[in-house]
Each structure stands twice: as structure tokens, then as C-alpha cells.
């Protein structure tokens, strides 16, 4: 593993900080501007903001799982992602962007699980508010969007990284376009 200067991680850090800030600020603004289940029509017939809380994960699956367990699960995934990022030999722009988005999304939802219950830490629910309603789609937030964009990019990065490693091991140059 090669050691690089901290400057080489600038896109990861910037992506992570901007995405996390957008998530937390948007959740705060929606929460302070809209009451629970109030709506703000962004684009009539297509998109509205409607604050709901989600005790589980996507599409309200696993609602019975306590928030403290979600913190442990999401925290473990986040630590695994950070370990994986620093284990990669080639941390090009696509890798930095993908890891920055997914890590910010995970931390944004972890924050809600830890702090969104004013009576007890680690008992909070994730704040969701973006709702496309011209077709059936679950309500989501900026963190979820970061994960949904970052995860496929991350799979592409890891697949490409795996191909590079196999090509090195085989002693062959990697083929272009295949």
C-alpha cells in the first residue's frame, strides 16, 4: 500500500463535508419550517416536501429494530467503508467521490439515530422529507440520495480496482474498452 499526502484525499473530504452539510442543513430546515406531515408543494403533481420519521431503513423495513442497533450497524458499515477506502491503492477521483457520498449518507442517518430523540440518545428516527408522488416511491432525504448515487459508483470503482489487481497479478496490461 502506498502512502499519499493528505492533499491527495481532497475530493473525498470535500465531497463528504458538502454532502453531510447538505443533509443535516436540509433536515434542520424542513423540521423547523414544516410540522410533521405538513406539505410544501415543490412541483405540483410531482414533488413535495413532507416531513416524516423513519424508525427503520429504506421503505420503513425493519421498523422493530431499535435505533441503537441501527447506529451499531450503520457505524460498522461506515468504519468498514473508511477502512476499505484507505486500503485501496488507487484512490482516483471516482473512488473519492463514491466513498465521500456513501460515507456522508451513512453518517447523516447515524446522526438522526443518535440525536433525533430529545428524550434519549441512540433512540432517534431518521428524518425523511423528499417525496415524489406522481409514482409510488418512498419518502427519502439527502443522505439516502448520497447513498443511492454513491453505492453504484462505489461498485464500479471496486470492480475496476479488482480488474486492475488481476491484470497486475497476471502480468498483462489491462485491455481498454472491455
Annotated catalytic, 162? no
Which of 112, 119, 128, 162 is catalytic? The answer is 128
Q: Which of 23, 112, 119, 144 is catalytic?
A: 144
Q: Alpha-carbon distance 178 to 172, whole Å?
A: 14
Q: Is 112 a catalytic residue?
A: no
The catalytic site residues sit at 128, 144
Amino acid at each position: 500500500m502506498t502512502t499519499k499526502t493528505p492533499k491527495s484525499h481532497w475530493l473525498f473530504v470535500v465531497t463528504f463535508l458538502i454532502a453531510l452539510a447538505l443533509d443535516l442543513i436540509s433536515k434542520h430546515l424542513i423540521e423547523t419550517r414544516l410540522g410533521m406531515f405538513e406539505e410544501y408543494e415543490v412541483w405540483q403533481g410531482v414533488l413535495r416536501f413532507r416531513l416524516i420519521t423513519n424508525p427503520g431503513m429504506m421503505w420503513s423495513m425493519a421498523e422493530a429494530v431499535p435505533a441503537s442497533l441501527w447506529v451499531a450497524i450503520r457505524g460498522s458499515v461506515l468504519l468498514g467503508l473508511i477502512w476499505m477506502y484507505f486500503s485501496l491503492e488507487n484512490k482516483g477521483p471516482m473512488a473519492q467521490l463514491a466513498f465521500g457520498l456513501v460515507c456522508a449518507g451513512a453518517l447523516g442517518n447515524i446522526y438522526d439515530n443518535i440525536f433525533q430523540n430529545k428524550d434519549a440518545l441512540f433512540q432517534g428516527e431518521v428524518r425523511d422529507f423528499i417525496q415524489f408522488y406522481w409514482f409510488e416511491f418512498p419518502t427519502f432525504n439527502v443522505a439516502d440520495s448520497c447513498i443511492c448515487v454513491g453505492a453504484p459508483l462505489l461498485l464500479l470503482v471496486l470492480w475496476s480496482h479488482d480488474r486492475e489487481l488481476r491484470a497486475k497479478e497476471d502480468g498483462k496490461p489491462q485491455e481498454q474498452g472491455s
